Amino acid sequence: MTRLDDLATTQRLVRTAARGLARTGLVHAYGHCSQRLDTDRFLVCAARPMGLIAAGEDGTVIDIHQPLPAGVLGEVRLHQQIYRRRPEVRGIVRSMPPALMALGTARRTPAARHGMGAYFGADAALWDDPQLVRDDERAAAVADTLGTGVSIVMRGNGAVVAADSLVKATVLTWYLEDAARLELQVLAAGLEAGSVVLTTAERQARATDSGAIFERMWQFITAGDPEN
C-alpha cells in the first residue's frame, strides 16, 4: 500500500502536472492526468478544468479493476484500461493540443521530422473515431490500438500519452504537440515532399533521456506553479 506521505507527494505531482499542461495550452476545460500508485491503483487529478485545480486540492484514487467512483470523469476509464495492460506505465496524460487536434481531423499524425518527434517512433497511433470514450468497451479498444506505443491521436478528440512517469508523459505531450505544429507548418509551406523524415536509426539515437532532457522541459512546463 502507498504510504500517506507518498500519497501526498503524488497528489502534489498530479496537481502540478495538471496546471502545467493547462499553462502551456495542452488542455483547456477538458483533459486529465494520472500517476500510478501501485499494481492496482492510480491517482487521477480532480474532475474540473486542470488550470483551475487549486494548491492542496486532491485528486481521486482509482482501482484499475473496479467501476469508476462517482464524480470521476468518464474518460478516466482510458487510464484504467492502459494501466491494466501496461504494468510499466506509471503516468498518463489525456490532452487536447490544438495543432494535434487539427492534424488529427485529417487522419494524420505528425511524422518524426525533428528531435522532439523522434520519441513516438515512425508514427503515433491513430484512433479513427471522434466520439467520447465513456464506456469500457471503447476504452479497451483505444488501449489495444495504442498497444505498446507512447501515444495515440484521437481523431477530433485530442490525444493520450503513456510513459513510465507522469513527468515524462507530460513532457512527451508537449513534444507531440510540437511535432504536430511543425507538421502543419511543413504542410502549409508546401514543403512536405522535401522535408526530411528521420530514419529509424536517427530516431533511436535522438530519442534520448540523457542530459536532463525531460527534467528541463518539466521545469519549463511547471515554471511559476504554486506547489513546484
- Per-residue model confidence as pLDDT tens digits over 95-131: 999 999 999 999 999 999 999 999 999 889 999 999 9
Q: Computed from CA positions of residues 5, 7, 10, 12, in that sequence, does the dihedral angle turn out positive or negative?
A: negative
**Residue 123's pLDDT is what?**
87
Radius of gyration of the chain (CA): 17
Arithmetic mean of pLDDT, 174-192:
98
Give the domain range for residue 208: 4-222
**Residue 3's pLDDT is what?**
67
- Domain assignment present for residue 69? The answer is yes
Specify the 3-state DSSP secondary structure of 162: strand
Arithmetic mean of pLDDT, 197-213:
96
Alpha-carbon span 147 to 123, nearest angstrom: 13
Q: How many CA atoms lie within 13 A of 225 on its CB side?
A: 28
Alpha-carbon span 94 to 28, nearest angstrom: 11
**Residue 5's pLDDT is what?**
72
- Per-residue model confidence as pLDDT tens digits over 28-62: 999 999 999 999 999 999 999 999 999 999 999 99
Q: Which three cell numbers stand for residue 29?
A: 476545460
Q: How many independent structural domains does the chain possess? A: 1
CATH at residue 105: 3.40.225.10
Alpha-carbon span 33 to 23, nearest angstrom: 14
- Domain assignment present for residue 194? The answer is yes
Q: How confident is the model at residue 4 (pLDDT cuts 50, 70, 90)?
A: low
Alpha-carbon span 138 to 20, nearest angstrom: 28
Q: Which three cell numbers stand for residue 71?
A: 464524480
Average pLDDT, the chain: 96
- Domain assignment present for residue 135? The answer is yes
